[in-house]
């Protein structure tokens, strides 16, 4: 777990070494999956009264929904970003690498929850502020993996988030039904 934490810290610092490691290390996909699952678990705990809620047997179905929603969103966002790069901006890159850097960026989405709690509101401002660092990390990953200029990488990262929101609105991957 120490290696995952070290690589996560390198990722949030936007260090090139982390993206190179993700590109060449197949194990990073499993590590990314672990980070996404833990993020889903923490999102559940944040929405429903802290870590004590994890021990409430009646809430386990909702916990599973949160974790599965996080995993589906991770897979979708990675796929949308990869498809935009590959088919719209004619860049390069492998889907597996997109999965890795998206998974390592995913825990930063917890900032959305923290900002919403601090501002005592849920809306566009906490969402935008919470996802800002996520977008920076993804743009850096796209820039590394696809050799795109920084501006195009940011457009792809934001476009993939918009695409995820559209797909989420259509299919309702929200964990709370």
DSSP characters over 32-80:
HHHHHHHHHHHHHHHHTTSGGGGG-GGGHHHHHHHHHHHHHHHHHHHHH
**What is the average pLDDT across 46-71?**
74
Angle formed at CA 155 by CA 39 and CA 80, multiple of 5 degrees: 55
With a cut of 50, say whether residue 113 has pLDDT above it: yes
Give Cα separations from 123 to 61, 117, 120, 130, 151 (angstroms). 26, 11, 10, 11, 26
pLDDT band at 177 (very low <50, low <70, confident <90, very high): very low
Which tens digit of pLDDT belongs to each residue from 65-111?
Answer: 889 999 999 999 999 999 999 999 988 889 999 999 999 999 988 88
pTM of the model: 0.87
Which tens digit of pLDDT belongs to each residue from 123-170?
Answer: 677 777 778 899 999 999 999 999 899 999 999 999 999 999 899 888
**What is the average pLDDT across 54-59?**
66
């Amino acid at each position: 777990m120490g290696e995952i934490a070290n690589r996560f810290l390198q990722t949030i610092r936007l260090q090139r070494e982390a993206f190179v490691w993700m590109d060449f290390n197949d194990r990073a996909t499993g590590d990314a999956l672990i980070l996404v699952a833990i993020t889903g678990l923490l999102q559940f705990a944040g929405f429903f009264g802290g870590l004590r809620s994890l021990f409430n047997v009646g809430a386990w179905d909702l916990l599973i929904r949160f974790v599965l929603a996080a995993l589906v969103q991770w897979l979708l966002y990675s796929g949308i970003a990869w498809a935009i790069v590959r088919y719209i901006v004619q860049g390069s890159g492998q889907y597996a690498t997109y999965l890795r850097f998206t998974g390592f960026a995913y825990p930063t989405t917890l900032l959305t929850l923290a900002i919403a709690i601090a501002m005592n509101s849920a809306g566009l401002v906490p969402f935008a502020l919470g996802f800002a660092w996520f977008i920076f990390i993804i743009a850096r990953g796209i820039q590394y993996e696809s050799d795109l200029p920084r501006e195009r990488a940011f457009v792809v990262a934001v476009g993939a988030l918009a695409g995820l929101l559209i797909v989420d609105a259509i299919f309702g991957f929200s964990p709370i039904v």
